[in-house]
């Protein structure tokens, strides 16, 4: 059996119904315990938005709140938040987008709790989720394994996959050969790797640009087609419960298929439950568990309810055939005419590079937890993987990266559920 086929089988097993139940069930349980703060997320963010620009005198390694938000959002919103939505619709139908919303809604509860615990348990190592996973059991084995999986995910999904996607976008949109774009990636990753908190500094500049570009372009399409946009939303909701295509042989089977695909893609996209952004929020100079948990919820909201939803609506209203690969790219090309190719290529390059910077920060913190005072080794690996990613076929890299993501989720969600129960008990005793 070929290696790719083996990787795909492992992925199918790992990202099967049990893990999705763990993520969704954990999100539902924690959301109930929190009193469903996601219902009031917009009101909460209105009250806390000023903290984005708040400065505090703190440790030299700490990030400002805006750097924290930008870096975590960059790591969350990658090319998968655009191209992945097209794949979700292609495989699970338009209704699968509804289940992405469900995944994100309850995932916001997970995101809040994991980042709350990360800030609460941070001890100066800035090692993210490992700081609270250390508290499970009598050894650090769970935390060490999580850190190993995080390093693997950062070099794969957070680096090679993104640079490969960026190289493809540069080649198809602007005619830039991969070997030339590899030089661009080399310079970019080098800039990310050198200097104190260079990744966060680049993210706070890249994220606003990519957000304004993509959200503005998508809203432009929607504003000019308001009735079609309303119809697209209605189609998403209707098809979530009444699919038009029967894939598995029965309507019930099709609904389940659409549900599983949407939940899975939602988990891939917003990363709630993976513990990935905990390293970023626990590095913020504002050491408020409640505030960092709130901003983590906002990042999930922006990723799925804003970026993914805009992408899905544009795909549906563009009239593009909802089959075949690169659906999102074809949809924007159709919706924006000749400018669509350049818009999508530019957007995907920005998304990819921002994700590289965000995940570099996360991966370096995990590496530092495993091997203190050896950051240079990780930086060299990151630069090498970035260049290699522009040349390699992404199928195998995607498969291995998805495995690392799943392996991150299992100990993290279990750890959050166990520790949050203890957290609630401690609150009740106080």
Q: DSSP of 251-320, one letter per residue?
A: HHHHHHHHHHHHHHHHHHHH-TTS-TTHHHHTTBSS--HHHHHHHHHHHHIIIIIIIIHHHHHHHHHTT-
- Counting DSSP H helices and E strands in the chain, the numbers are 20, 0
Is residue 110 within 8 A of residue 273, CB to CB? The reply is: yes
Per-residue pLDDT tens for 128-171? 788 888 877 667 888 888 889 999 888 888 888 888 888 888 88
Cβ atoms of residues 72 and 60 within 8 Å: no
* pLDDT of 250: 42
- Residue 385 sits in a domain of what CATH number? 1.20.1740.10
Residue 7 lies in a domain: no
Residue 52 maps to a domain: no
Q: What is the pLDDT of residue 119?
A: 86
Per-residue H/E/C for 62-129: CECHHHHHHHHHHHHCCHHHCHHHHHHHHHHCCCHHHHHHHHHHHHHHHHHHHHHHHHHHCCCCCCCC
Alpha carbon distance 406, 281 (integer Å): 21
Positive or negative CA dihedral for 297, 303, 307, 309?
A: negative
Q: Is residue 49 part of a domain?
A: no
| pLDDT of amino acid 112 | 92
- Please check the confidence at residue 216 and state whether its pLDDT lies above 60: yes
- pLDDT confidence of residue 251: 47
At residue 243 the predicted structure's pLDDT band, cuts being 50, 70 and 90, is: low
Q: Rounded to an integer, what distance in angstroms lies between the CA atom of residue 28 and that of residue 318?
A: 35
Angle at 76 between CA 72 and CA 80, to 5 degrees: 160
Task: HSE, CB side, 13 Å, CA atoms: give it for residue 16.
Answer: 7
Planar angle of CA 389, 393, 399, nearest 5 degrees: 90
Look at residue 376 and tell me whether its pLDDT is greater than 80: yes
Number of domains in the chain: 1
- At 393, the pLDDT band (50, 70, 90 cuts) reads low
- In angstroms, how far is CA 342 from the centroid of its own chain? 24
Beta strands, E only, 352-420: none
Tokens of 46: 């209105």
Any residues with CB less than 8 A from the CB of 24 and at least 6 apart, and which? 102, 103, 106, 263
Yes or no: say if 70 and 355 are a contact pair by the CB < 8 Å rule. no
Q: Could you report the per-residue pLDDT of 6-40, keeping only the tens digit for each?
A: 877 887 777 777 888 888 888 899 989 888 888 88
pLDDT of residue 127: 62
Q: Which residue has the tokens 């080794």?
A: 377
Question: Is residue 394 situated within a structural domain?
Answer: yes
Report the distance separating Cα 345 and Cα 174, nearest Å.
8
Q: State yes or no: pLDDT of 125 exceeds 60.
A: no
User: Which pLDDT score is estimated for 139?
Assistant: 74
Domain membership of residue 3 (yes or no) is no
pLDDT at position 209 over 50: yes
The rounded mean pLDDT for the chain is: 81
Supply the pLDDT for residue 252: 46
Burial class (CB in 10 A: 0-12, 13-18, 19+), 131: buried
105-128 mean pLDDT:
82
Rounded distance between C-alpha atoms, residue 220 and residue 159, angstroms: 31
Q: How far apart are alpha carbons 55 and 64 in whole angstroms? A: 6
Q: Is residue 378 part of a domain?
A: yes
Location of structure tokens 């790219």: 329
Tell me the whole-structure pTM to 2 decimals.
0.87
Q: How many angstroms separate the CA atoms of 91 and 325, rounded?
A: 10
Q: What is the DSSP letter of 160?
A: I
Q: Is residue 58 part of a domain?
A: no
Burial class (CB in 10 A: 0-12, 13-18, 19+), 151: buried
Note whether 371 and 124 are within 8 A (CB).
Answer: no
Contact of 367 with 162, CB cutoff 8 Å: no
Q: Is the pLDDT of residue 248 over 60?
A: no
Measured from the Cβ of residue 421, the count of other Cβ atoms closer than 10 Å reads 13
What pLDDT is stored for residue 247 in this prediction?
41
pLDDT of residue 57: 54
pLDDT for 265-323, tens place per residue?
Answer: 777 778 888 888 888 888 888 888 888 888 899 989 998 999 999 988 988 888 776 66
CB atoms within 10 A of CB 197: 18
What is the pLDDT, as a whole number, of residue 137? 67
Q: Please give the residue range of the domain that contains residue 106.
A: 12-41+63-422
Q: Is residue 93 part of a domain?
A: yes
Which residues, in sequence order, are CB contacts of 327 under 8 Å at separation 6+?
86, 87, 89, 90, 315, 320
Q: What are the structure tokens assigned to 332, written together?
A: 């924007």
| pLDDT 10s digits, 188-202 | 888 888 777 777 778
pLDDT tens for 42-96 read 777 777 777 767 666 555 567 788 888 888 888 888 777 787 788 788 877 888 8
Structure tokens at 135: 């508290």
pLDDT greater at residue 370 or residue 44: 370
């Amino acid at each position: 059996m070929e290696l790719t086929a083996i990787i795909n089988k492992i992925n199918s097993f790992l990202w099967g119904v049990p893990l999705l139940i763990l993520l969704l069930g954990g999100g539902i349980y924690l959301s109930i315990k929190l009193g469903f703060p996601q219902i009031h997320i917009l009101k909460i963010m209105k009250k806390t938005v000023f903290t984005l620009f708040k400065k505090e005198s703190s440790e030299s390694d700490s990030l400002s709140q805006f750097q924290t938000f930008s870096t975590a959002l960059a790591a969350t919103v990658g090319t998968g938040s655009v191209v992945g939505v097209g794949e979700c619709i292609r495989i699970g139908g338009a209704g699968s987008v509804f289940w992405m919303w469900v995944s994100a809604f309850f995932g916001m509860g997970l995101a809040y709790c994991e980042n709350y615990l990360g800030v609460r348990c941070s001890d100066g190592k800035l090692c993210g989720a490992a700081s609270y996973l250390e508290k499970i059991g009598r050894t650090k084995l769970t935390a060490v394994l999580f850190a190993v999986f995080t390093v693997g995910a950062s070099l794969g999904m957070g680096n090679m996959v993104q640079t490969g996607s960026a190289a493809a976008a540069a080649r198809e949109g602007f005619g830039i050969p991969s070997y030339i774009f590899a030089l661009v990636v080399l310079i970019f990753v080098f800039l990310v790797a050198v200097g104190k908190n260079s990744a966060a500094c680049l993210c706070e500049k890249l994220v606003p640009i990519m957000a304004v570009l993509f959200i503005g372009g998508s809203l432009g399409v929607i504003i000019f087609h308001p009735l079609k946009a309303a119809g697209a939303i209605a189609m998403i909701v209707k098809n979530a419960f009444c699919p038009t295509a029967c894939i598995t042989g029965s309507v019930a089977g099709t609904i389940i298929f659409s549900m599983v695909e949407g939940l899975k893609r939602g988990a891939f996209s917003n990363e709630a439950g993976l513990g990935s952004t905990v390293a970023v929020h626990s590095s913020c100079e504002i050491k408020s568990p409640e505030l960092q948990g709130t901003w983590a919820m906002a990042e999930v909201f922006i990723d799925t309810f804003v970026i993914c939803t805009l992408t899905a609506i544009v795909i549906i209203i563009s009239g593009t055939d909802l089959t075949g690969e690169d659906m999102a790219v074809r949809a924007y090309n159709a919706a924006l005419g000749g400018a669509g190719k350049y818009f999508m290529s530019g957007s995907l390059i920005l998304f990819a590079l921002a994700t590289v910077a965000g995940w570099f920060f996360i991966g370096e913190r995990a590496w530092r937890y495993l091997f203190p005072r050896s950051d240079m080794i990780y930086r060299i690996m990151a630069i090498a993987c970035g260049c290699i990613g522009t040349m390699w076929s992404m199928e195998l890299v995607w498969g291995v990266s998805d495995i690392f993501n799943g392996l991150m989720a299992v100990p993290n969600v279990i750890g959050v559920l166990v520790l949050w129960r203890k957290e609630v008990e401690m609150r009740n005793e106080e």
